Amino acid sequence: MFDHFGDDSKLTGELMRGQTVRQPFIAEGSVLQYILIAFATYQRRNLSKLTIDVCKDNITLRTETISASTLEDNGYHKFNTNLSVEEGNEYEVRVYSENGTYGNSVTAKYGDPKHEGGERWIRIGSKRKRGELCFTLAYSEEGGAPGDVEEISTAISDRGTDKIDNETLRGNPVLSIIIPTAKRLDHLKVCLDSLRAHTSVEYEVIVISNTPDKEFPIQVQKLLLNQPNYIFVSFPKYAGYVATCNAGAAISKGEYICILNDDTIAGKKWVDQMIRILDTNKDVAQVGPCLTFFDKTFTHSCKETNNSYIEGWCFVVPRWVYEKHGLFDPCIDFAYCEDSDFSTMLQHNGYKIRRVNSSIRHLGTQTSKSGKMKGVTDGCEVTNKNYLREKWKGKI
């Protein structure tokens, strides 16, 4: 435990919509277990929303959205982070007001820190002030309990319950690309390099690590350094394709949302046609590429009608579809059949789905072929098929 609370605290003032409080800190352990942050409520019940991020080099490593109504006056909010950090490196805590208005917002507390070590500064909006956010950082040498994945998943999902304001550091991208990944850094690097080279619209990439391997998230963080439009989230255990894609969609900001496997390679203008069809055909709710493997073999024709479903390795949906219908059914266990269920749901609601020719290629089930998921997905396909038979019985 490392205490940053001061004796004579001050108030940042009401955190109005779009305002961010930033506090840098130096990691003093290998795992940041949780953060306690002091707030004041002006002794009233506020209904605004706050987002708390832990960042490094403008990459979001952990994120949580809370309702100001849950905070106690002069009380502390606990943010369970369970984040692997590099001791001695600088990180940053950010408190961002999503929709605060006058008379309906809380204030963060700051003051002179108790610990030694020179001057401390806090940035409140555009102003840099002497002092430090009143917070406590709790470290350990080992990671937290595996169950922390549920807390992280809930925190991320909560952020998607309402439309997220566009007035953040990430801007307003046309496309949000969500990439779940697990232990295949080589494929992820090739995928990201191809996206940088061949994505012609303004975009953000949300990479979600989905593995209990403690070293892999650190490797991914290094891969994403100095990339302001890249967001990183790490689950401390296998959470599954369904949970990670849903979590990524919940924090996305793009006008269009793309689900993309990490074992893909994008070519020139790979997504342009998919976006164009969605933009010009309001009855089309989902567009995917023809399934094209790296050896250039096609396993599906590109018929624009009568598609049964779009495979989950790559597809694009407009934001309005996500906000109205969500993404994958959370009752589906881990992975398998979530893509067919999603397309079925859209068509059941009267929408069309389309395939197009695209320059993106799929290496094909590389994570499962590697054996790294052995024992994790056992039985999921059978379980999910049985669930979907009951779900759609008599409806299709």
pLDDT confidence of residue 70? 86
Confidence of residue 6 (pLDDT cuts 50, 70, 90): very low
Q: Which among 63-67, 162-166, 174-178 has the top mean pLDDT?
A: 174-178
Residue 392 tokens read as: 């759609």
DSSP class of residue 358 equals: -
Confidence of residue 391 (pLDDT cuts 50, 70, 90): confident
pLDDT confidence of residue 155? 37
The answer to whether the CB of 128 falls within 8 A of the CB of 110 is no
Q: Kindly tell me if the per-residue pLDDT of 163 is higher than 70.
A: no
Q: Kindly tell me if the per-residue pLDDT of 150 is higher than 60.
A: no
Angle between helices 338-348 and 241-251 (to 10 degrees): 50
The span from the CA of 193 to the CA of 215, in Å, is 21
Q: Kindly tell me if the per-residue pLDDT of 173 is higher than 50.
A: yes
pLDDT confidence of residue 124? 85
Residue 116 tokens read as: 């030694």
Q: Kindly tell me if the per-residue pLDDT of 339 is higher than 50.
A: yes
Element (H, E) at 215: helix 215-223
The answer to whether the CB of 183 falls within 8 A of the CB of 372 is yes
pLDDT one-digit tens code per residue, 69-125: 888 888 888 888 888 888 899 999 999 988 888 888 889 888 765 444 556 788 888
DSSP class of residue 113 equals: -
Domain made up of 2-140: CATH architecture = Sandwich (2.60)
Domain positions in the chain: 2-140, 174-391
The answer to whether the CB of 265 falls within 8 A of the CB of 363 is yes
Are β-strands 31-40 and 135-140 bridged in parallel, bridged antiparallel, or unpaired? Answer: antiparallel
Q: Kindly tell me if the per-residue pLDDT of 224 is higher than 60.
A: yes
pLDDT confidence of residue 277? 95
Q: Kindly tell me if the per-residue pLDDT of 319 is higher than 90.
A: yes
> pTM to 2 decimals?
0.58
The answer to whether the CB of 107 falls within 8 A of the CB of 71 is no
The span from the CA of 274 to the CA of 289, in Å, is 8
The span from the CA of 114 to the CA of 126, in Å, is 25
State the first-to-last Cα distance of the chain, in angstroms, to the nearest integer.
Answer: 56
Average pLDDT for the chain: 79
Mean pLDDT of 13-31: 88
Q: Kindly tell me if the per-residue pLDDT of 363 is higher than 70.
A: yes
Least confident range from 33-37, 304-308, 372-376: namely 372-376
- Residue 279, classed as helix, strand or coil, is helix
Are β-strands 132-133 and 135-140 bridged in parallel, bridged antiparallel, or unpaired? Answer: unpaired
- Residue 41, classed as helix, strand or coil, is coil
The answer to whether the CB of 257 falls within 8 A of the CB of 176 is yes
pLDDT confidence of residue 118? 53
pLDDT confidence of residue 320? 94
Residue 248 tokens read as: 């990524």
Class of CATH domain 174-391: alpha beta
Confidence of residue 354 (pLDDT cuts 50, 70, 90): very high
